[in-house]
Amino acid sequence: MDQFAHFFGILFELCTRPSNLLVLFGSSLLGILFGSMPGLTATLGVALLTTLTYNLDTSTALISLLGMYVGAIYGGSYPAILINIPGTPAAAATAMDGYPLALKGDGGRALGLTTTASLIGTVIGLICLVVLSPLIASFALQFTSWEFFLLALFGIVISGTLTSSDLVVKGWIAGFIGLFMATIGRDTLQFYPRYTFEQSQLDSGLEIVPVLIGAFAIPQIIRVLAEKQTLRKAEKFGRILPDFRTIARNIKHIVRSSMIGVGIGSVPGVGEDIAGWVSYSTAKNTSTKQQQEEFGKGSAAGLVSSETANNASIGGALIPLLTLGIPGSPPAAMLLGALLLHGVVPGPTIEAEHPGFLLEITAIMVMASFAMWANGMLLAKQVIKILSIPSPLFIPVVGVLCILGSYALGLNLFNLYLMLPVGIVAFVLSENKFPISPLVIGLVLGGMADESLRRALMISDGSFLPMLQRPVCLILVLFILYFLLSQFGPVKRCTQRLFSRFKPAVGG
């Protein structure tokens, strides 16, 4: 009850400051604009905004960044529904049924459904964040250097496994490229320079924010400028109203999709994109045969399932970020960079170092979700007018903002020299179907993996035996070996046969 009262005290204090509300609604609207423009993403929006929060206090910075995050994930549904081009990868599954509804003249109703479903999904994700985070944090306090090393390695391996559209080994390669990038600079234990090539700018390592802007923004800018698409827009729009009757009829899909979103969002590097598709597929497979025929033709169940999971993943992605220091999605990785920029180090000791921080994050997220809903309901017709701006005209402006944002971070020209080559390398990798998320996860987790492994080996005089004597380490080792070996022929076939036997039992 004390925590409950403390939460509402923080929420009331934040809401009674007009400046906070102005920043919140402004950043939420900006996030919706970013999400609604095909080619821009939530990750890019959080990255650009991070550079502008350098001189703000931590609370105001978090309000603006979380408002952007929530708004951008929701905003991707606008072009997905109206022109069949998802504004963000997370909205790809939303287009499956949102666009057919728009072609029938129910675009306003579809946006009303997604807006309300997004609000519900975000709130359920926050409930899981509040309930699970203290449990995970207390458990993580028992970790030693061995556990932190294996946890970082597990995050890289699983993100590479689950985000690869081609060969899984490409995801692992991308992850270990990021791991190598994290070793550049003077090591934190012996202060020895590594891969600096006698460049003093590299002594402190690679700045996370310019690398992430380059990895996500530059490839997207190149693609949008290279591709010319003819858009078929829905002719009728209709009124945007929250269809509570349809929401009530699909409440089971909404609750299940929220749980799926939280679960998948908490897996390092996976995030909102996969959650939407998994939830959509689950909703279709658990529906009756007659209802399944409506999927892809304008099914409300499919629409709310994908959109609920997308936004529930936000709370899921914050769970490992805040309790373990491991981002659950690319936008969460950018949020980690912003927290480090403001002197907040996420991890098991965050509540000891910053008492009440988890409750403050939750209160800001509640405000951001309601700001998203209000902006979506009141300003949707005005916001979607930005879709008429040709992307080749709008994207160069984003490129300029990327350059200014990277330079503004410490007024360091070297950040530009870092951002551009990283962006070109990321574009080449993505064109060859190497996922970028594992690279980002490898960069973020690389420092923890490197420092933890070397410290553990120093304590054990170079022996790996203590790692095999700890139960949590053994569990993590088994998981890592499973994900590695499951991609080889015999183990993969055995796993498929096991799941094929288990599936009918689940269906029955």
Give residue limits of the domains in the chain: 2-469, 472-508
Please check the confidence at residue 493 and state whether its pLDDT lies above 70.
no
What's the confidence (pLDDT) of residue 469? 84
pLDDT at 505: 42
Q: What is the structure's pLDDT at 383?
A: 62
Give the distance from CA 64 to its chain's centroid.
16
Distances (CA, A) of 307 to 12, 226, 278, 293, 462: 29, 29, 11, 20, 49
Between 336 and 143, where is the model more confident?
336
| pLDDT over 80 at 440, yes or no | no
Query: Residue 502 pLDDT more than 50?
Result: no
The number of helix segments (H) and strand segments (E) in the chain equals 23, 2
207 φ, ψ to 5°? -65, 130
Give the mean pLDDT of the chain: 76
Residue 197, both tokens? 């090539």
User: What does the pLDDT look like over 113-142, one tens digit per residue?
Assistant: 888 888 888 888 878 877 777 776 666 667
Q: Tell me the residue length of the chain.
A: 508
pTM for the predicted model, two decimal places: 0.66
Structure tokens at 33: 């604009």
- Identify any residues that bridge with 185 across adjacent strands, giving them in sequence order: 194
Contacts of 436 (CB under 8 A, 6+ apart): 174, 215, 216, 219, 330, 426, 429, 430
Predicted pLDDT of residue 489: 65
Q: Secondary structure of the chain: what % helix, strand, coil (to 5)?
A: 75, 0, 25
